[in-house]
């Protein structure tokens, strides 16, 4: 409900969100994308458990939250590859030179 007691509909939220984007010269995105972005940021923050994020998102199933919102980025992939490289270096020596 708004300040005068009128029901706020999803269409009115989308309408005002679009006006806000236009006013600030921002690209158009769906309002629901904000939810996805917020939950993705929480999921990639070590301060929160996936269970906390599941509760926040209102998902009945932990796997839904995990599968949809846990992402890896380029820095994660580099860290993983650096670790794998160090394992091989430890096993086979530190140089690939012949």
Per-residue pLDDT for 53 more than 70? Answer: yes
Which residues lie closer than 8 Å to 27 by C-beta, 6 or more apart? 21
User: Percentage of residues in the chain with pLDDT exceeding 70?
Assistant: 90
Per-residue pLDDT for 96 more than 60? Answer: no
Q: What share of the chain is helix, strand, coil (3-state, %, to 5)?
A: 60, 0, 40
pTM of the model: 0.59
Residue predicted with more confidence, 78 or 11: 11
* 80/96 Cα distance (integer angstroms): 20
Q: Where are the domains of the chain?
A: 29-92
Residue predicted with more confidence, 96 or 68: 68
């Amino acid at each position: 409900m708004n300040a005068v007691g009128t029901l706020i509909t999803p269409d009115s939220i989308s309408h005002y969100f679009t006006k806000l984007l236009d006013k600030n010269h921002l690209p158009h995105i769906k309002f629901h994308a904000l939810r996805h972005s917020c939950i993705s940021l929480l999921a990639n923050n070590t301060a929160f458990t996936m269970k906390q994020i599941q509760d926040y998102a209102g998902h009945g199933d932990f796997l839904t939250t995990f599968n949809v919102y846990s992402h890896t980025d380029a820095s994660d992939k580099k860290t993983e590859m650096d670790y794998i490289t160090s394992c091989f270096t430890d096993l086979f020596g530190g140089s690939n030179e012949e």
